[in-house]
Structure 1
Amino acid sequence: MTIEKFDSIYQRACERKGSQSALESLLRHPLTKEQIAQIPDDRWLAAFTMKVFQSGIQWKVVADKWPNFEQLFFQFRLEPLLMQPDEAWEEKAQNPGIIRYLPKVMTIPANAQMIFDIRLDHGSFGKWVAQFPQERIVDLWLHLKKHGKRLGGNTGPYALRQLGVDTFLLTHDIEAYLRATKVIDGGKDTKRTLYATNDAFNQWHEESGRSFTEISQIIAYSTGDNRV
């Protein structure tokens, strides 16, 4: 299989967005590994929780209620959350200030425990995330899926991107491009697909020197329904 050269993808994205400067103005950039390592544990849990609740509904609905989430769940500080008895979670899930859905509420203590366990071994969740090599960033996705709750699919990766981790996303446009160019041909969440995608991004990174975050956006802008 021959993977399309990144320069061709980039030029097509420039044409679709009107110019090189127009394209570059649209791109988000990731944080450095040093900055990732400094993100507090509570912000990781908050990001995971937000994306879990945004899954399947309009994101704005959750965003509008988010201050209530922060207040009800102790600003997502791990220790007070992990000390809550089971009945407290059932009560919190009925609070009208949030999205009242117990299965999603119960991801909070589960993911808090995952973050806490990693903190014990690595000092903080951010330090642990920062040490993941880019050439196998999907191993981070797979860990979140296996050890977290409801963090599979796009949920975990979207949370990582929200916090500035340098990762690609398998959005509809990017998945469609990868299938059309035969980079992937199986189920989106299989290890075979994830590793094939990671390998393609490794090649584009070597060609361009750009971050996975930038490459991911440029591919999306080079295809799909997003012309100027």
Structure 2
Amino acid sequence: MQKHRCGWCLGDPLYEAYHDNEWGVPVYDDDTLFEFLILETFQAGLSWITILRKRENFRKAFDNFDYKKIAAYNDAKYDILLQNPGIIRNKLKIKATISNAQAFIKVQEEFGSFSKYIWEFTEGKPIHNTVKNYKEAPATTPLSDKISKDLKKRGFKFVGSTVIYAHMQATGMVNDHEMKCFRYAEIKNGI
């Protein structure tokens, strides 16, 4: 018997694997939170499958998403990134990645970890929504508005409410799997 999956991932093996193994799983480690933050900022205005297909290229181009290295990128590294056909070559998004790495480190210094900072917005626990059809899931919420505003105040860029809500979904701060999806209950039950 085939498992019921969220409708947005159907028909593409890469999308289905991402859905089954990563999307909505609570992430508490800073390295992975940073990776998703960067991928979400590059996704702004594009489809997520476009980013997933380029994920390994991003990983190589951005030193395995090592925010300490990225925070120290100079103009020469920026120019190299702009010439890399394997990633999204958007000048503002590349610059934002570098400044976001610097802001990320400042948040770590203030809160002990980025994870501690970001998860405080949900009191450390995922929010389990009741989405019947993925098309009904919101693009933003008052909470994503609040987090976006706070991140911008801390110097982050390309972190509008829509990007932040997508980040919350990807990192399991919210469980927006369709209720009939096999992953909804698994994630709700911590599997």
Smaller-chain TM-score range? 0.5 to 0.7
Alignment of 1:161-180 (within 5 A): 161-166=169-174
Tell me which of 53, 56, 68 is aligned to 2:45.
56
Match of 1:137 in 2: 143
Which has more radius of gyration? 1
Q: Which runs of 5+ in 2 are unaligned?
A: 7-18, 128-141, 180-191
AA aligned to 1:65 is: K
Deviation string, structure 1 residues 186-212 (Cα, Å, up to 9, x no partner): xxxxxxxxxxxxxxxxxxxxxxxxxxx
Report the alpha carbon displacement of residue 74 of structure 1 after superposing the two structures with TM: 1.0
Quick one: distance in 2 between partners of 1:141 and 1:103? 18
Quote the offset at 1:116 in angstroms: 0.5
Distance 1:217 1:143 in 2: 29
So what's the TM-score if we normalise by structure 2?
0.63
Is 1:107–1:149's contact at 8 Å kept on the other side of the alignment?
A: yes
Task: Tell me the secondary structure at the aligned position of residue 131 of structure 1.
Answer: helix
TM-score by length of 1: 0.54
Shift of 1:108: 0.8
User: How many Å separate the matches in 2 of 1:145 and 1:157?
Assistant: 14
Contact 1:45 1:111 in 2 (8 A): no
Bigger helix share = 1
Query: 1:156 corresponds to which residue?
Result: 164
User: Number of residues paired by the alignment?
Assistant: 143
Q: Is 1:145–1:156's contact at 8 Å kept on the other side of the alignment?
A: no
Identity of aligned residues (%): 24
SS of match in other structure, 1:87: helix
2:87 aligned with 1:79, yes or no?
no
Distance 1:102 1:95 in 2: 12
